[in-house]
């Protein structure tokens, strides 16, 4: 437990992604099996204990600590595992720290009635950090700022592999992943996995820069619309059905309507959309269905899910990924024609003649549901990750607004001494007293380090009010912000929200009176 | 002669604790005619009093902070030495908080009240240890009066800092410390752990470090962190007030590891919210166990609780059969270190 507790403690305070990776990789290299495998499962969220719930932790603490003192402490600390870890009155014990594997295996083998005594024994043997790690581990949700993917990336880094390689074999593996570590350490062959309905890493596209467009040999490419939903993979194999996000998170729980429609034995790649009467609903509607563990009948009715298919990865047992795009596309069309799964359709191919007509098409694509164009090489196999060259995304030009800086907030990590997060607004005419600024969004990217330094200085010199890490500034600085789309939203006082806003240009020269008005935002909301 | 009730001769006024038969205040938060000061932290030692009584160390700290205040009468009183003010006999006893810190023992017609100011019980190489004084009423702080606050041994925390220095030799390590007390204690602890390289200090720390040296606390080689090349800080220790760390001042440091030495660092989410990468749980205040131990050591039948988490300490004291009440004094810093 000691190395694991030290790892969690270091992770929670490490601000940088690379630092977190370094900590995890070091842990995996220096910790033997099976402890490291259990740690990996804890980090990826694949460890569950049924018998150990927060209520049990409360009950154990209540047996030893005055309830009033515990209540005040919990109010102050705000986190049950941490409160219990700090407040636990140790009783002298000769026991050593348990190994992580010992904890996991004992809990899995224990009957419900045995769990409290097991836990209490460990809590006495551990120190405050050890207790915290143990309680985080068993009550689920480590919250140390590590995604499942980052943990897998750290494992892949041991052998210099790509995370996609680990993801590919992941769903065929079982705890405590000894064959995985043996493989990344070069001591064994790649685990041979019949992955079933496991996740296959997606093939991703690189953005096409405007200057590169002309040098592209367009005859080698196929074009499709880039739909404005979220990329998903639907895997139905051997009676098991799963829907994954692009990073491999299982989102099946939120989409029973899609699961029901997956009457096939295949793995397909597509765009998840909300579709009403054949028309794609705004992204906002799709958002109502995302990040949910369960879904109500009303939501299923109001926001019907649909997948617009791009690709066919597996048809029954056949792995189609080595085939060319053209070959896969043909197979996709034949398969879809034959099986005709409900709640799906095919993303149509767009005839390509030359780059100019594509450019024209892309510029004209003002439909809310289209983000731009995808260009895919006709001869490209389906490769995991983001290989350079075979696939391009060619987004339509962003929308822009001239807005006024209203509040600036301190950044994090390297930026903690800079006011780097900016809330900005547009003018709204009031019945009395002339126009006022109403916030429409927040941006923290799109400027250079030199520009940041200059904005930071400006913010400090024009502060009118402070609220903790936030400074209110006098209206005086205009940003041109770029964003993908505008939506009605109750979250901002203006009644609108922008999607992916970033600073496009800093208009030191522009008088604030000439910044945009609320009507301009309303005009950009697509119907 | 009847022994007077404690609350009949020491009372809470808006400006602080007032000792009626001596006509003086203890740690008043506003200027008063006569003040007895427990220690030099700004929320206890304010400027502008007509007359001040304190230990020589505390008077030196106040002079360093406020200059020599014109027209102010200053009386130095060493630990243990008695002085009579009106009918009150007053003595100062070590509180173990910072250099010069004292508990104020007040005896009036057979009734004794000890005002402890801020205190801790563990060893501090920069000041003499807390002395329990038997009394009828013990007036105590409650900064860390929750059983979640158990400060680990200092050596462990200093060890964490030195380990990080070895692990990231390319990065500066900046430690947020309160300028009075914490800074000098951390430096002394580092020296005791064998760290003898020069330590860079922020300008706000210089005067007080020099004062400690003059009072006989050797701090080893210190260098001002002013006007230096970034490269000079790689692998070095830099001490600064916490407020400087998150601000522009810290930009002179190469990829700094941000540490803060404070009792609040015990709570991870608090440390994280402050952007701390290396929390060091080093406090000049008593933790929960020390507070409870002190109530037992002093053996007073009654306690008054000044500032902090009063309700928890009052609750604990009552459970031990000690009369207890919260004084609701105003003006002490919640985050006081």
B132 and B11 housed in the same domain = yes
Give the tens place of pLDDT for each residue, A36-87.
999 999 999 888 887 678 889 999 999 999 999 999 999 888 889 999 999 9
B315 touches chain A (CB under 8 A): yes
Does residue B60 fall inside a structural domain?
yes
A416 and B275: CB-CB below 8 Å?
Answer: yes
Mean pLDDT of the residues in chain A: 90
Split into its structural domains, chain B has a count of 2
Which residues of B fall within a CB distance of 8 Å from A86?
A: 147-150, 266-267
* Long-range pairs, A240-244, Cβ under 8 A, ≥24: A240/A196, A240/A197, A241/A197, A242/A197, A242/A198, A242/A199, A243/A272, A244/A199
A73 and B146: CB-CB below 8 Å?
Answer: yes
Does residue B226 fall inside a structural domain?
yes
Separation of alpha carbons B172 and B108, rounded Å: 55
B260 and B312 housed in the same domain = no
Q: Tell me if the bond preceding B325 is cis, omega within 30° of 0.
A: no
B266 touches chain A (CB under 8 A): yes
Which residues of A fall within a CB distance of 8 Å from B258?
A: 416
Question: Does A162 have pLDDT greater than 50?
Answer: yes
Separation of alpha carbons A240 and A171, rounded Å: 12
| A and B: number of Cβ contacts within 8 A | 71
Separation of alpha carbons A284 and A229, rounded Å: 10
Q: Which of A21-25, A516-520, B70-74, B270-274 has the lowest mean pLDDT?
A: B270-274
Query: How buried is A144 (Cβ within 10 angstroms: 0-12 exposed, 13-18 middle, 19+ buried)?
Result: buried
B147 and A128: CB-CB below 8 Å?
Answer: no
Does residue B55 fall inside a structural domain?
yes
B114 and B205 housed in the same domain = no
B127 and B165 housed in the same domain = no
pLDDT of residue B331: 63
A73 and B247: CB-CB below 8 Å?
Answer: no
Give the tens place of pLDDT for each residue, A340-351.
999 999 999 998
B236 and B211 housed in the same domain = yes
Give the tens place of pLDDT for each residue, A445-502.
999 888 999 999 999 989 998 887 899 999 999 999 999 888 888 877 889 989 889 9
Does residue B160 fall inside a structural domain?
yes
Separation of alpha carbons A62 and A495, rounded Å: 48
Disruptive mutation site among B160, B275, B308, B320 for chain A (greatest number of A CBs within 10 Å): B275
B219 and B308 housed in the same domain = no
B149 and A86: CB-CB below 8 Å?
Answer: yes
The kind and range of the H/E element at B92 are: strand B88-94
How close does chain B come to A417, measured CA to CA in Å?
5
CB A375 within 8 A of CB A395: no
Which residues of B fall within a CB distance of 8 Å from A65?
A: 147
Give the chain A residue nearest B310 (alpha carbons): A72
B267 and A72: CB-CB below 8 Å?
Answer: no
pLDDT of residue B335: 45
Other CB atoms within 10 A of residue B71 CB: 6
Give the tens place of pLDDT for each residue, A146-161.
888 899 999 999 999 8
Separation of alpha carbons A250 and A230, rounded Å: 13
Give the tens place of pLDDT for each residue, A231-283.
999 999 888 899 999 888 889 989 999 999 999 999 999 999 999 988 888 88
Domain of B32: which CATH number? 3.60.15.10
> B159 by DSSP, 3-state: which?
helix
> B106 by DSSP, 3-state: which?
strand
CB A159 within 8 A of CB A184: yes
B22 and B119 housed in the same domain = yes
Separation of alpha carbons A165 and B160, rounded Å: 37
A66 and B315: CB-CB below 8 Å?
Answer: yes
Q: Are strands B173-176 and B257-261 parallel, antiparallel or unpaired?
A: parallel
CB A207 within 8 A of CB A337: no
Considering only CB atoms, B251 lies closest to which of A12, A79, A417, namely A417
Considering only CB atoms, A87 lies closest to which of B148, B246, B250, namely B148
- The residue out of B280, B298, B314 marking a domain boundary is B280
Does residue B32 fall inside a structural domain?
yes
Query: Which residues, 6 or more positions from B110, have their beta carbon under 8 angstroms from its beta carbon?
Result: B1, B3
Domain of B227: which CATH number? 3.40.50
CB B35 within 8 A of CB B42: no
Which residues of A fall within a CB distance of 8 Å from B278?
A: 13
B191 and B261 housed in the same domain = yes
Which residues of A fall within a CB distance of 8 Å from B246?
A: 410, 416-417
Disruptive mutation site among B142, B145, B146 for chain A (greatest number of A CBs within 10 Å): B146
Separation of alpha carbons B191 and B219, rounded Å: 7
Which residues of B fall within a CB distance of 8 Å from A131?
A: none
B156 touches chain A (CB under 8 A): no
Q: What is the mean pLDDT of residues A388-417?
A: 87
A79 and B251: CB-CB below 8 Å?
Answer: no
B289 and B276 housed in the same domain = no
Other CB atoms within 10 A of residue A215 CB: 7
Separation of alpha carbons B119 and B306, rounded Å: 12
A86 and B247: CB-CB below 8 Å?
Answer: no
Instruction: Write the CA distances from B255 to A235, A413, B169, B171, integer angstroms.
Output: 45, 10, 11, 5
> Catalytic annotation on A136?
no
Separation of alpha carbons A457 and A438, rounded Å: 24
Give the tens place of pLDDT for each residue, B309-320.
899 999 999 999
Disruptive mutation site among B142, B144, B148 for chain A (greatest number of A CBs within 10 Å): B148
Does residue B257 fall inside a structural domain?
yes
Domain that includes residue B120, residue range: 6-148+285-326
Domains and CATH numbers, chain A: 206-395 (3.30.470.30), 399-524 (2.40.50.140)
How close does chain A come to B195, measured CA to CA in Å?
23
pLDDT of residue B293: 97
User: Which of A20, A136, A226, A237 is an active site residue?
Assistant: A226
CB B276 within 8 A of CB B265: yes
Does residue B331 fall inside a structural domain?
no
The band of B337, judged by pLDDT with boundaries at 50, 70 and 90, is very low
Q: Tell me if the bond preceding A34 is cis, omega within 30° of 0.
A: yes
Which residues of A fall within a CB distance of 8 Å from B147?
A: 65, 69-70, 73, 86-87, 89
B45 and B120 housed in the same domain = yes
**Buried residues in A370-388 as b, exposed as e (16+ CB within 10 A):** bbbbbbbbeebbbbbeeee
pLDDT of residue B332: 65
Residue B27, sorted as left (phi over 0), alpha (psi -120 to 50) or beta, turns out to be: left
Disruptive mutation site among A9, A73, A418 for chain B (greatest number of B CBs within 10 Å): A73
A86 and B266: CB-CB below 8 Å?
Answer: yes
Q: What is the mean pLDDT of residues B220-239?
A: 92
Q: Write out the DSSP string of A118-170.
A: HHHHHHHHS-HHHHHHHHHHHHS---SS--HHHHHHHHHHHTT--HHHHHHHH
B16 and B114 housed in the same domain = yes
Does residue B332 fall inside a structural domain?
no
Give the tens place of pLDDT for each residue, B276-289.
999 999 999 999 99
pLDDT of residue B336: 42
Which residues of B fall within a CB distance of 8 Å from A413?
A: 275
B208 and B302 housed in the same domain = no
């Amino acid at each position: 437990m000691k190395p694991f507790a030290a790892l969690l403690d270091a992770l929670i305070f490490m601000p940088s992604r690379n630092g977190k990776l370094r900590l995890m990789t070091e842990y995996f290299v220096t910790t033997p099996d099976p402890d490291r495998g259990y740690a990996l499962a804890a980090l990826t969220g694949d460890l569950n204990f049924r018998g150990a719930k927060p209520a049990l932790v409360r009950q154990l603490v209540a047996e030893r600590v005055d309830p009033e003192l515990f209540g005040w402490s919990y109010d102050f600390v705000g986190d049950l595992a941490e409160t219990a870890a700090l407040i636990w009155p140790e009783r002298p014990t000769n026991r050593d720290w348990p190994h992580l594997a010992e904890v996991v295996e004992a809990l899995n083998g224990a009957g419900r009635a045995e769990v409290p005594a097991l836990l209490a024994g460990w809590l006495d043997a551990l120190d405050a950090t050890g207790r915290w790690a143990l309680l985080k581990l068993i009550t689920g949700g480590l919250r140390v700022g590590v995604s499942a993917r980052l943990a897998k990336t750290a494992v892949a880094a041991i052998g210099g592999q790509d995370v996609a390689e680990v993801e590919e074999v992941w769903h065929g593996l079982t705890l405590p992943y000894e064959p995985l570590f043996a493989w990344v350490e070069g001591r064994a062959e790649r685990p041979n996995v019949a992955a079933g309905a496991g996740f296959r890493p997606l093939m991703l596209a690189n953005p096409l820069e405007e200057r590169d467009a002309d040098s592209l040999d367009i005859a080698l490419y196929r074009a499709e619309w880039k739909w404005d939903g979220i990329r998903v993979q639907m895997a139905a194999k051997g009676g098991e059905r799963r829907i994954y996000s692009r990073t491999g998170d299982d989102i099946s729980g939120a989409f029973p309507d899609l699961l029901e429609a997956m009457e096939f034995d295949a793995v397909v790649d597509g765009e998840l959309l909300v579709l009403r009467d054949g028309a794609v609903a705004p992204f906002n509607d799709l958002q109502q269905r995302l990040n949910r563990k369960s879904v109500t009948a009303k939501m299923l009715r109001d926001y019907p899910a649909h997948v617009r298919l791009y690709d066919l990865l597996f048809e029954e047992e056949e792995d189609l990924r080595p085939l060319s795009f053209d070959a896969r596309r043909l197979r996709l069309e034949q398969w879809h024609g034959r099986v005709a799964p409900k709640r799906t359709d095919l993303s149509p191919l767009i005839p390509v003649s030359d780059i100019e007509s594509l450019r024209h098409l892309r510029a004209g694509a003002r439909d809310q549901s289209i983000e731009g164009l995808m260009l895919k090489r006709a001869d490209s196999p389906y490769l995991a990750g983001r290989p350079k060259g075979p696939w391009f995304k060619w987004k339509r030009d962003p929308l822009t607004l001239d807005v006024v800086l209203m509040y600036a907030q301190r950044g994090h990590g390297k930026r903690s001494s800079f006011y780097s997060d900016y809330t900005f607004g547009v003018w709204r005419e009031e019945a009395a007293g002339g126009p006022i600024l109403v916030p429409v969004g927040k941006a923290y990217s799109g400027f250079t380090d030199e520009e940041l330094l200059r904005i930071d200085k400006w913010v400090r010199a024009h502060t009118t009010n402070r609220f903790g890490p936030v400074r209110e500034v006098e209206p005086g600085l205009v940003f041109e912000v770029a964003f993908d789309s505008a939506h009605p939203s109750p979250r901002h006082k203006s009644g609108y929200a922008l999607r992916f806003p970033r600073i496009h240009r800093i208009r030191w020269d522009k008088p604030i009176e000439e910044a945009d008005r609320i009507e301009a935002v309303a005009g950009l909301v697509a119907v | 002669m009847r022994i007077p009730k404690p609350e009949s001769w020491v009372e809470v006024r808006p400006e602080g604790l007032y000792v009626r038969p001596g006509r003086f205040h203890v740690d008043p938060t506003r200027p008063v005619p006569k003040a007895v000061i427990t220690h030099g932290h700004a929320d206890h030692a304010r400027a502008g009093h007509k007359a001040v009584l304190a230990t020589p160390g505390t008077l030196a700290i106040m002079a360093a902070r406020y200059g020599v205040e014109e027209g102010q009468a200053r009386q130095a009183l060493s630990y243990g030495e008695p002085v009579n003010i009106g009918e009150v006999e007053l003595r100062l006893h070590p509180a173990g908080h910072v250099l010069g810190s004292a508990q104020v023992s007040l005896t009036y017609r057979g009734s004794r009240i000890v005002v402890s100011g801020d205190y801790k019980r563990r060893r501090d190489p920069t000041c003499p240890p807390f002395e329990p004084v038997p009394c009828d009423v013990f007036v105590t702080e409650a900064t860390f009066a929750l059983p979640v606050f158990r400060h680990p041994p200092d050596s462990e925390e200093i060890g964490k800092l030195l380990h990080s220095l070895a692990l990231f030799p390319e990065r500066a390590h900046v430690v947020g410390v309160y300028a009075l007390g914490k800074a000098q204690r951390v430096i002394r602890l580092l020296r005791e752990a064998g760290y003898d390289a020069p330590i860079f200090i922020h300008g706000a720390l210089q005067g007080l470090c020099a004062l400690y040296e003059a009072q006989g606390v050797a701090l080893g080689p210190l260098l001002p962190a002013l006007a230096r090349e970034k490269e000079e800080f790689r692998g070095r220790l830099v001490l600064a007030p916490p407020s400087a760390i998150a601000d522009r001042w810290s930009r002179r440091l190469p990829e700094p590891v941000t540490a803060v030495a404070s009792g609040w660092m015990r709570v991870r989410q608090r440390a994280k919210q402050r952007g701390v990468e290396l929390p060091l749980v080093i406090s000049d205040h008593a933790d929960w166990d020390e507070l409870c131990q002190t109530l037992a050591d002093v053996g007073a039948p009654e306690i008054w609780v000044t500032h902090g988490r009063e309700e928890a300490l009052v609750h604990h004291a009552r459970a031990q059969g000690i009369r207890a009440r919260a004084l609701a004094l105003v003006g002490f810093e919640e985050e006081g270190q």
